Structure 1
Amino acid sequence: MIFEHFSWKEVLTCFMVLFAVIDIIGSIPIIVSLKQKFGQIEAEKASVVAGILMIIFLFVGNKILNFIGVDVNSFAIAGAFVIFIIALEMILGVQIQRHTEAKAASIVPIAFPLIAGAGTLTTTLSLKAQYHDINIIVGIILNTVLVYIVLKSSNWLEKKIGEGTLKVVEKVFGIILLAIAIKLFTSNFAQLFQNSIHF
């Protein structure tokens, strides 16, 4: 059964990881800027496309890895490094890589790469090595709903949440993300080490 492995604890962890990587709260200034530039943001289209991209990559990404001969544990370790860098960006306030110039205010650049960018897709597949698919999917759906709410009420949120509060939230989630990156690395490295002993 699809709900046999359902766990609220896993859902919460997956939700928190994706929430921190997507960083939709920290992206409010970018979203508001895009709204001012293009007049309107298609929240429904951007949210749905981003959610679908993440779910598709959750299943197809593994097949791509098998095709090129890379196991999920190795990819998860690579993903842990990506998450680690994103966490450092959030904590230290540095910009290693940021979003490209906007072409339109719906699928590009909001759905991709703002929401479902390389970091998010890598993280989604990294989670697959640690958690059950159903829990990751629920985590993706919850984040998609949250993204939709934020996109719909970005102006109101910016007025209510000050820049200082946004920075504090970003740093807190950066620390959480850093801890998760280390956990992903250590657990998958241990799994790789055990597999190599068996060989």
Structure 2
Amino acid sequence: METLLPFALLCFTSFFTLTNPLGTMPVFLTMTNGLSDQERRAIVKRATIISFITLMIFTFSGQFLFKFFGISTNGFRIAGGFIIFKIGYDMLQARYSNAKLKEEEVKTYADDISITPLAIPMLCGPGAIANGIMLMDDANTYTLKGILIGIIAIVYFITFLILRASTRLVKMLGETGNNVMMRLMGLILMVIAVECFVSGIRPILTDILKQALS
């Protein structure tokens, strides 16, 4: 029980900040401008389901990919730490997603935005994928793996609810409130990224020191 709660909290905070539904709201509203609430709900539903399935595929196939490409877990943790740190830094600066569409493109691709760019890469980007693979590697028991899967499902369900109510939430939070939330989540994400980087580089440095001393 002592390890379950910290692991669950780590999973929730990292995935929620990487998914960043609060920061995605203004972009989502811009992309769906002119669409009815029913059409928006359908897009959100498809996007969250696609994001969850995509993340699950990468999370479970991570170890296979490591073996297939000959990638070390520690090397992936270092690279993943850099990716997550960059995302956290952008959020700390209150920068929104780079995914932007022109007004005429919104109407043309209204049916497709649930897959790209909303599901991939906004709700399920490289940061979330890297985080999923690393946490699955840490989950050395079936209980921890179950917690990881459950937390990911909960995060995407919350994301669905937030984006579904995005019109009301944007008015309630306002630009200042949204920026404050993004900065706080960005700071948390940067701390998690540093932990990933340290956990990856420590074994490598230990091996180098052992070889130097032997």
User: TM-score, length-normalised on structure 1?
Assistant: 0.87
Deviation at residue 115 of structure 1 after TM alignment: 0.4
Task: Look up the equivalent residue of 2:6 and give its one-letter code.
Answer: K
Q: Where does 1:1-199 land on structure 2 (aligned, <5 Å)?
A: 7-39=4-36, 40-41=39-40, 42=42, 43-93=44-94, 98-99=98-99, 101=101, 103=109, 104-131=112-139, 132-195=144-207
> Could you say which structure has the larger radius of gyration?
2
Unpaired runs of 5+ in structure 2? none
Task: Look up the equivalent residue of 2:60 and give its one-letter code.
Answer: F
In the alignment of these two chains, the number of paired residues is 195
Q: What is the rounded CA distance, in whole Å, between the counterparts of 1:73 and 1:128 in structure 2?
A: 14
Deviation at residue 48 of structure 1 after TM alignment: 1.2
Deviation at residue 150 of structure 1 after TM alignment: 1.3
Deviation digits for residues 2-32 of structure 1 (CA, Å, limit 9, x no counterpart): xx99823211211101111111111110111
Deviation at residue 118 of structure 1 after TM alignment: 1.9
Q: How has the CA–CA distance of structure 1 residues 143 and 176 changed in structure 2, closer, same or farther, with 3 Å as cutoff? A: same
Q: Check the 8 A contact 1:25/1:166 in 2, yes or no.
A: yes
Q: Check the 8 A contact 1:83/1:181 in 2, yes or no.
A: yes
Indicate the SS of the match to 2:71.
coil
Let me know the Cα RMSD of the aligned residues: 2.4
Identity of aligned residues (%): 25
Deviation at residue 129 of structure 1 after TM alignment: 3.8
Task: Look up the equivalent residue of 1:156 and give its one-letter code.
Answer: R
Deviation digits for residues 146-197 of structure 1 (CA, Å, limit 9, x no counterpart): 1110121111111111110010011111111111111111122113334556
Deviation at residue 113 of structure 1 after TM alignment: 1.4
Deviation at residue 100 of structure 1 after TM alignment: 5.5
Q: After alignment, is 39-48 or 77-86 more displaced?
A: 39-48
Q: What is the rounded CA distance, in whole Å, between the counterparts of 1:11 and 1:186 in structure 2?
A: 20
Deviation at residue 37 of structure 1 after TM alignment: 4.9
Indicate the SS of the match to 1:135.
helix
Deviation digits for residues 96-152 of structure 1 (CA, Å, limit 9, x no counterpart): x72254632322222111101222212222323444432321221111111110121
Q: Check the 8 A contact 1:21/1:120 in 2, yes or no.
A: yes
Unpaired runs of 5+ in structure 1? none
Q: After alignment, is 138-147 or 164-173 more displaced?
A: 138-147
Q: What is the rounded CA distance, in whole Å, between the counterparts of 1:130 and 1:189 in structure 2?
A: 15
Q: What is the rounded CA distance, in whole Å, between the counterparts of 2:74 and 2:45 in structure 1?
A: 34
Q: Check the 8 A contact 2:92/2:186 in 1, yes or no.
A: yes
Q: How has the CA–CA distance of structure 1 residues 130 and 196 changed in structure 2, closer, same or farther, with 3 Å as cutoff? A: farther
